[in-house]
Amino acid sequence: MDQNSNIDEKVFSTINTTLQLIITDLQQTLNNTQENIVKEKLTEIIKRMNFLIEETKKNKELLINHIKSLKDNLATKTIKRPDNFVDIKEIRMDDRKYIGQVINGIPEGKGVMYVDGGDIYKGEFRNGKYEGKGIYYFNENDKTRGNRYEGEFSNGQANGKGIYYKSNDDRYEGDWKKDLKEGKGIYFWSNGDRYEGEWKNDKRDGKGIYYWDNGNRVMGDYSNGKEVGKHVLLTKNGEVKVINYS
């Protein structure tokens, strides 16, 4: 008998011994219990366990052959990693370094992108581009250093809903399109003023309301970031004034 056969015999012996120990424990419990219902249940379980042992002995050769067959299948089967397997890697890409999940060598899933100039993106990727939710930290340009964008990305750009925090404590919350404010949003100045309204091409454009920190507000239209037409000023004291812009 070869070594593998000895191992299979040991597996069978272990199964048989385990069953015997279970029966012994059940028999002891049966002897110590006074409840008739419990005794009946335990007696029935012991009978079934004994039957299982007898059947196991009768089919010993069949069981051992089955164990050997399973082992042979595992030994000969080559486990092939799927092409779209998600791995964690560090990749160098032109002027940037990526650490995170990849598929076929391309960023896919969650990861961090370090730009050589200092910018950092942490979030979701698809097909090598920022896609989904993420945070972009600006550190490369003196004008934007310390700023960050948190929100939705698509095709490598800020698209959808997001918040842009500036280092001077100003912030914008609202819609984005191709890295620009576009749609509806609110801009908060650090002095307490804010603008709520429409945006286009990164500027106030359309209808909006400007709130001063002192409680006054003015409503009207904007174009290319400037007030146009008639604006209505409402003071905190209830006064109403009309302001005309060319």
Residue 173 structure tokens: 């919350």
The domain segmentation of the chain, as residue ranges, is 3-76, 91-167, 178-246
Report domain 178-246's class: alpha beta
Instruction: Say if residue 219's pLDDT is above 70.
Output: yes
Mean local confidence (pLDDT), 200-227? 96
Residue pair 99/77 in contact by the 8 Å Cβ criterion: no
Residue scoring higher pLDDT (59 or 221): 221
Share the mean pLDDT of the chain.
84
* Residue 3 banded pLDDT, cuts 50, 70, 90: very low
Can you give the pLDDT at residue 181? Answer: 98
pTM above 0.75, yes or no: no
Q: Which range is least confidently modeled, 46-55, 87-96, 186-195?
A: 46-55
CA distance 238 to 242: 13
Integer Cα distance of 11 and 55 in angstroms: 16
Mean pLDDT of 36-64: 67
pLDDT digits (tens, 9 = 90+) for 142-200: 889 999 999 999 999 999 999 999 999 999 999 999 999 999 999 999 999 999 999 99
Question: With bands split at pLDDT 50, 70 and 90, how would you rate the model's confidence at 44?
Answer: confident
Backbone angles phi, psi at 116, to 5 degrees: -55, -35
Residue 7 pLDDT: 46
Average pLDDT over residues 216-229: 95
Choose between 22 and 106: higher pLDDT.
106
